[in-house]
Structure 1
Amino acid sequence: MSLPVDPLPPEELFRRHSPELLRFFTRQTRCSELAADLRQETWLRLQGRRTEEIGNVRAFLYRIARNLLIDHHRQQQTRPQSAPLDEALESELPDPERAIEDSRRLARLQLLMHELPEHLRQALLWNRLDGLTQREIGERLGVSESMAGRYILKALEYCQERMDDH
């Protein structure tokens, strides 16, 4: 007694069973993105096979699906669930000395910014904080694009020199 052979090509049969497979994977994984990835992997494993070799395509698809789920669960079990201890102990925050030094540098930079002529300060702030281009800054200040670039450069050089002196 032989299994029934589906007369349609595998592509059409997969398309027909695709929504059902997606629901199956979604129920099993509780993640729609993972379910879509597994359904795609099922299709990749079906590609290139002839219907005559497969017999019942729906049963074959579910066998592939179960095997993919087993593989996925094995991978999850072998993957570490938490970061190594030394990584977990590392802090994203700077140490207290570094935080104090950064605060001092920021206060110094704020003072330096107020020492700059208004047009240089404004050009630098628009460029660095607002992301404006030299052309946009030039239009706002009523100067050429290249002059706006010089304003930014002058402001940066002044602040850098004064920060280095300190």
Structure 2
Amino acid sequence: MRPPRDSDAHDGQFQRHAGELLRFLTRQVKCSELAADLRQETWLRFQRRGSDEVGNLRAFLYRIARNLVIDHQRQLQARPVQEDVSVELASEQPGPEQIVGDGQQLGRLQSILEDLPPHLRQALLWNRLDGLTQKEIGQRLGVSESMAGRYILKALEHCQQKMDWMP
């Protein structure tokens, strides 16, 4: 059986308070990952200092931990607040990929519309682009309002079928 090394003794002393320190640090910084990092830094500083000259080990560990929290808060205050760069750079304009994709889809839609019989294509375009009602389209094409509605529906079904719309 080997005699305990100083680091083993330090480790055992620290481990008695490690869970308690982590809870304390988590309450202070409101982030469990940061608290774990600060606890690790507490351990490193405790190792450097040693426990030979420490009267109250628990108080000593808490003092190190509290000082680390204060240092962290000072760093946060000293850092200039930065806006999210992605928000500043965000543009409502479409990106190159979007433009190319939209262009391809538009070209595909144009060829699909060209495949439609002229009266179906015209009924759909008047309805969707010009905002005409079925009654107005029927009057322009010389058909009933319900027939104009059927033209629009048939054209939409054709386009949807050919475009293979994705959800």
Q: Distance in 2 between matches of 1:100 and 1:52?
A: 70
Q: Distance in 2 between matches of 1:9 and 1:96?
A: 60
Q: Which residue is equivalent to 1:20?
A: 20
Q: Distance in 2 between matches of 1:108 and 1:16?
A: 71
TM-score under structure 2 normalisation? 0.50
What's the CA shift string for 1:54-98, capped at 9, x where partnerless? 2322121111011101011011112233327x8643215544897
| Residues 46 and 108 of structure 1: CA distance in aligned 2, closer, same or farther (over 3 Å) | farther
Q: Distance in 2 between matches of 1:16 and 1:91?
A: 50
TM-score under structure 1 normalisation? 0.50
Q: Which residue is equivalent to 2:11?
A: 11
Aligned residues: 103
If you compute each CA radius of gyration, which structure gives the higher value, 1 or 2? 2
**SS at 1:51 equivalent:** coil
Q: Distance in 1 between matches of 2:32 and 2:96?
A: 46
Q: Which residue is equivalent to 2:69?
A: 69
Q: Which residue is equivalent to 2:43?
A: 43
Contact 1:10–1:49 (8 Å) recurs in 2: no
- The answer to whether the aligner puts 1:30 opposite 2:30 as a matched pair is yes
> Cα RMSD over matched residues?
3.3
Q: Which residue is equivalent to 1:105?
A: 104
| Residues 38 and 96 of structure 1: CA distance in aligned 2, closer, same or farther (over 3 Å) | closer
Q: Distance in 1 between matches of 2:48 and 2:82?
A: 40
Q: Which residue is equivalent to 1:90?
A: 89
Unaligned runs of 5+ in 2: 1-7, 110-167
Q: Distance in 2 between matches of 1:55 and 1:9?
A: 16
Q: Distance in 1 between matches of 2:107 and 2:41?
A: 57
% of aligned pairs identical? Answer: 50
Q: Distance in 2 between matches of 1:109 and 1:36?
A: 56
Unaligned runs of 5+ in 1: 1-7, 111-166
